[in-house]
Amino acid sequence: MTNRKRVFWATTALCSGLLVAGAAAAQSTASQTVEATEIETVVVTGIRGPRSLAGAIVAETNPKSRATITQEYLATQNAGQTPLASLNMVPGVNFNNADAFGSSGGDITMRGFDAARISLTVDGIPLNDTGNYAIYSNQQPDPETLQSVAVNLGTTDVDSPTASAAGGTINMITRRPSRDFGLTAQASVANSDFMRFFGMVDTGEFGPWGTSAWFSASQAEYTHHNGPGGVEKWQLNGRIYQPLGDNGDFLSLTGHYNENRNDFGRRVTKEEFEDGTAYEDRGFAFGPRTGINPSNTGNLRGQSRFTLADNLRLTIDPTFQYTLANGGGNNTFRETDLQLIGNSGAAGVDLNGDGDFGDRVTLYRPNNTNTHRYTVSSSLIWDINEDHQVRGAYTYEFGRHRQTGQQGYLNADGSPENVFGGRGGRAVELPDGTILQRRDRLSHAILNQFSLEYRGSFLDDAVDVVAGLRAPFFKRELNNYCYQRDTFNAFCTTQTPTVVNPDGTVQFPASGPLNSSPNNRYGVPRQFEKEYDDLLPNLGATWRFAAGHSVYASYAKGFSAPRTDDLYDRFIPSPEPETTQSYDLGYRYSSPSIIASAAIWHTDFTDKIVRSLTVVDQEEIAMSRNIGDVQMQGFDAQVGWSPIDALTLYASASYIDSEVLDDAPGLNPGDVVPTKGKQVVETPEWQYAVRADYEIGSFNVGLQGKWVDDRFANDVNTEVAPSYQVWDLDVRYNLAALGSEDSWIQLNVTNLFDEEYLGNINSPDFGLDPRPATYDVGAPRTAMLTVRTSF
């Protein structure tokens, strides 16, 4: 680390603090190309890429609020940890992990926006679920394969291919293959029976054209700290890189595949947390392993850049993504249930094979989601002259989102015969030739997006201006093949409805767990389309008024179209899209030993959509509603300081003030929910983070802490999750002195002082539902030992 710091100090002195994060922070190949133009001066001083201090903070100059962490910092954290957890030091960002290892999922918020309103990308391709925009933190690339992770707070890049980024973006950049051959092997052990192995090979340059590649594999497993079962996970990654000449043009193909088998951990109430029962391993009421949360995900990411003329470049990034996943679950049927019999006239269905129809049998009931997603992003970049540049971009995306609920059978121990139910294993066949399903939907998400951006430098490069316009045209084609009661609950049957109501809904006779009330009304199967479009301008300017000092101001309009699940409601009309207007005013300072930034910001959030659970006709239903406008403002700051060669200090702070400006509409006409004047759920007012990184001989010692303020647990602010602080320790013994470069033995201790705290919040119906909110329990103190060797 010391040698890297010395190079950094010498370089920054020569460049007067004007370098930028560039390619490390940008999203697509085009954005990397555009922003890398600003760091070409780095090459002559021997460094290519972002200036940083211990990888925890990077010098940024884009006229927007942005923060970046690099591989140097990622490598100090728990091996295999989700990259999103490493963003917890960034101001305005809060990530709650479901465990200490990152493979059970987690929840992230940014400036008061939840995960569904944050665009997550890797190398510029969108990773949010095409249907509900969810972020699955446990399905991300191994952190060892990444160069950096960057956050745009409240804004997007002009070519961001997203219909959901009202609150900002997170982008992961994959490492480039090394020019030299190399092997890396890494093994980790920890409490909770944790074991992980990771290996990577760099081919080095080979062949007549200087081709290079790397390939990696990892495998991890452990048990849960908050319930039975655990996690089994394995992952493959790789990248092939082909330069085209020596002017920066290239072709690249990156691949990723991840399989995760995760039992759900137990969620608890605040009362259980306060009386201590939250830490009792009481297991699941439905037995072991029926709560499994399986996922198979993968993608292929192409990137390319071509110089068409001295001042004209073309980038094309094609990608394909695949997802198959579900959230487990089960339900019990009588063998004479009318849903099973349908229109066949049969007396029943012998579900357990005992020769009669007199039993109640529990079946495995997953909601499978299978997605095929195709994206092409392209840009044409024209350098008018040294000071002015124009970029035009176009993105096309087609997502086939198949949601099915093929039920399957359970083994004698309560585990599913197949983790994907009847889709991957033995389905429940019915007398009329159909199979038993929980839902049956097909959605197509289609995005056509046009973008235009201008970048200019003025006053002898003292002032930079960026102006852009993003125009997404988004369409959802929706097909529902079952009777739909609400957003989540469908009734898939061949029965003939007994009642047809004036509003077009139908009713069935009472029977079975999914239709226990004869008053339940269902929307009939249907096919329909929804289209959304908007013009999203962004404008930013940076003024470098003295060596190392700059101020910036930015404005951006954001947009989030309703999710697929928002559109299948029967009770509530489809919600309108959400929009944001975000304003930032910031200051940055950069010197050989200090990188610092601070910003004040304000966001007007219009037509916020809230999804909630409530009770109708004695049945729980889910629905989505526009609750009106929200106003948010705050302050972000971070600073990195290296007072001496061996020591780096980092600190960040953020303040978020949020206020809902309207009462929300209730279920019935004229009903209102008293949300006016309340704060946004799960949004701490204050957050602080600190880290110290010290090198002594062959040892590196890091200590970091995060303090999170109280958070409201429901929309009417009647329940509060208490504040908490968590400290982590990392100690590395570097084996370079033994002749093994980039090799070490590392001890990580997370939650060093064994803090008991509540994480990810799930609140029912605006807090008006009599049920309390539920939470993930923060992981206890965990020690991990990692041995890494590279040659």
How many other CB atoms sit within 10 Å of the CB of residue 185? 15
How many other CB atoms sit within 10 Å of the CB of residue 662? 16
Lowest mean per-residue pLDDT among 106-120, 517-531, 618-632: 618-632
Residue 99: which pLDDT band, with cuts at 50, 70 and 90? very high
The arithmetic mean of pLDDT across residues 447-459, rounded, is 96
Place of tokens 């609950």: 489
pLDDT of 49 over the 60 cut: no
The arithmetic mean of pLDDT across residues 402-420, rounded, is 93
Q: What is the pLDDT of residue 89?
A: 96
Place of tokens 């609020």: 65
Q: What is the pLDDT of residue 559?
A: 87
The arithmetic mean of pLDDT across residues 65-84, rounded, is 96
How many other CB atoms sit within 10 Å of the CB of residue 67? 25
Lowest mean per-residue pLDDT among 214-228, 367-381, 513-527: 513-527
Q: Which of 361, 395, 365, 363 is nearest to 378 (CA)?
A: 395
The answer, as to whether pTM is greater than 0.75, is: yes
Say which residues have a Cβ less than 8 Å from residue 733's Cβ, sequence separation at least 6.
698, 699, 744, 745, 746
Residue 736: which pLDDT band, with cuts at 50, 70 and 90? confident
Q: What is the pLDDT of residue 567?
A: 84
696 CB-contact burial (10 Å; exposed 0-12 / middle 13-18 / buried 19+) = exposed
Q: What is the pLDDT of residue 94?
A: 96
> Which DSSP helix (H) or strand (E) runs through 14?
helix 2-15
What would the two tokens of residue 35 be? 């922003």
DSSP helix/strand/coil, 485: coil
161 CB-contact burial (10 Å; exposed 0-12 / middle 13-18 / buried 19+) = buried
Q: What is the pLDDT of residue 457?
A: 96
Is residue 733 within 8 Å of residue 744, measured between CB atoms? yes
358: left (phi over 0), alpha (psi -120 to 50) or beta: alpha
What radius of gyration, in Å, describes the C-alpha atoms of the chain? 27
d(CA 749, CA 266): 23
Sign of the dihedral through C-alpha 464, 453, 174, 368: positive
Q: Which of 775, 743, 735 is nearest to 759 (CA)?
A: 775
Is residue 84 within 8 Å of residue 106, measured between CB atoms? yes
Residue 173: which pLDDT band, with cuts at 50, 70 and 90? very high
Q: What is the pLDDT of residue 777?
A: 92
pLDDT of 722 over the 90 cut: yes
Is residue 704 within 8 Å of residue 689, measured between CB atoms? yes
Is residue 692 within 8 Å of residue 649, measured between CB atoms? yes
Is residue 627 within 8 Å of residue 676, measured between CB atoms? no
Please name the fold of domain 182-790: Maltoporin; Chain A (2.40.170)
Is residue 657 within 8 Å of residue 634, measured between CB atoms? yes
Q: What is the pLDDT of residue 23?
A: 39
Residue 670's alpha-carbon distances to 358, 663, 673, in angstroms, are 47, 11, 10
d(CA 519, CA 514): 12
Q: Mean pLDDT in the chain?
A: 87
> Which DSSP helix (H) or strand (E) runs through 341?
helix 338-341
pLDDT tens-digit map of 695-709: 999 999 999 999 999
Is residue 120 within 8 Å of residue 681, measured between CB atoms? no
Lowest mean per-residue pLDDT among 154-168, 245-259, 303-317, 464-478: 154-168
Sign of the dihedral through C-alpha 187, 193, 194, 199: positive
Domain ranges of the chain: 182-790
- What end-to-end distance do the CA atoms of the chain give, in Å? 18
Say which residues have a Cβ less than 8 Å from residue 604's Cβ, sequence separation at least 6.
580, 581, 629, 631
HSE toward the beta carbon, residue 618, CA cutoff 13 A: 8
Residue 516: which pLDDT band, with cuts at 50, 70 and 90? low
Is residue 722 within 8 Å of residue 710, measured between CB atoms? yes
The arithmetic mean of pLDDT across residues 629-652, rounded, is 96
pLDDT of 21 over the 50 cut: no
Share of the chain above pLDDT 90, in %: 67
Q: What is the pLDDT of residue 653?
A: 98
d(CA 393, CA 385): 20
Residues across the chain: 791
